[in-house]
């Protein structure tokens, strides 16, 4: 009921603001009602946190039989963990695939500041495949009805439902929570993760991009036949991949735990094996 009240007030406010602009009303009375409503409860988006369940999700996306653009949207959403609105409205002019960067304009960001998204090599590969299909257009993920508009806000969630995940199990927004939880568990610097989620301060962005890009690149060992016939990408964890310059090796305690030095960037070799089984992370796209 509280949510409905807030949405109704918002809609009424839009109507009255339009009425004021067009001379149909003198003022917007909804501003007087804002303090009268109870605060809206914080919204929590369903997400998968267990690594093995993440592996099952990745394999389900790998086998997705729907539209190619929708499959790519699922992949890029998982590999970049941006907000759903930032994802579906993405435009090709925002990307520099040579540099592995996606710069989201301030106008499309919740925090109203330009956001730099470092692209892992797997994300770049997916985007290159997608660019070959619709790179001549404006949007990466256009509407099925017209290329002049982005895909519906329900498309990614509908694809997850088609894969068998209920609204209470996984959502498009849930990729952010999944990445945040597991990357933190795997020992990556929390401040870098928060900045990449566009939650934190905007300083140290170059270093932050190095950290996140390294965290999102994964080296998976697969048979030569699979490598020759498939495009392999993965969920954002790395095994045995060296970090950026300045990486400090993990220090193993007697119990085998990995401790982070104050400024260390933790490689995934020791930590990931404790959390991810060999099946977690393989994403396949036809060449």
Q: Where in the chain is the domain with CATH 1.10.443.10?
A: 51-285
pLDDT tens for 220-243 read 333 222 322 332 333 333 333 333
User: What pLDDT score was predicted for residue 42?
Assistant: 64
- Mean pLDDT for back-to-back runs of 10 residues, the chain (287 residues): 80 91 92 79 78 85 92 92 93 95 89 85 92 96 93 95 94 90 79 76 48 44 29 34 30 33 28 34 37
Going by C-beta distance under 8 Å and a sequence separation of 6 or more, which residues neighbour residue 192?
Answer: 207, 208, 211, 212
Fold of 51-285: hpI Integrase; Chain A (1.10.443)
């Amino acid at each position: 009921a509280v949510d409905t009240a807030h949405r109704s007030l918002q809609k009424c406010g839009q109507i009255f603001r339009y009425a004021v602009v067009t001379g149909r009303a003198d003022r917007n009375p909804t501003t007087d009602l804002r303090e009268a409503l109870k605060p809206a409860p914080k919204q929590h988006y369903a997400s998968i946190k267990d690594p093995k369940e993440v592996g099952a999700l990745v394999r389900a996306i790998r086998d997705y039989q729907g539209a190619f653009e929708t499959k790519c949207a699922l992949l890029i959403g998982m590999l970049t963990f941006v907000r759903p609105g930032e994802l579906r409205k993405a435009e090709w002019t925002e990307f520099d695939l040579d540099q592995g960067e996606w710069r989201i304009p301030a106008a499309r960001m919740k925090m109203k500041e330009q956001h730099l998204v470092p692209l892992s090599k797997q994300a770049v590969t997916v985007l290159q495949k997608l660019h070959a299909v619709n790179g001549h257009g404006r949007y990466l993920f256009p509407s099925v009805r017209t290329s002049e508009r982005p895909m519906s806000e329900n498309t990614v969630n509908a694809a997850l439902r088609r894969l068998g995940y209920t609204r209470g199990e996984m959502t498009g927004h849930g990729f952010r929570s999944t990445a945040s939880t597991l990357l933190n568990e795997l020992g990556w610097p929390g401040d870098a993760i928060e900045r990449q989620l566009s939650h934190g301060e905007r300083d140290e962005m170059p270093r932050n991009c190095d950290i996140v890009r390294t965290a999102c690149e994964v080296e998976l060992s697969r048979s030569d036949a699979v490598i020759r016939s498939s495009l392999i990408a993965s969920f954002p964890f790395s095994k045995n991949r060296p970090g950026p310059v300045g990486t400090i090796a993990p220090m193993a305690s007697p119990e085998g735990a990995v401790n982070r030095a104050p400024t260390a960037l933790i490689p995934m070799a020791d930590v990931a094996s404790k959390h991810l089984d060999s099946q977690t992370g393989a994403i396949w796209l036809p060449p």
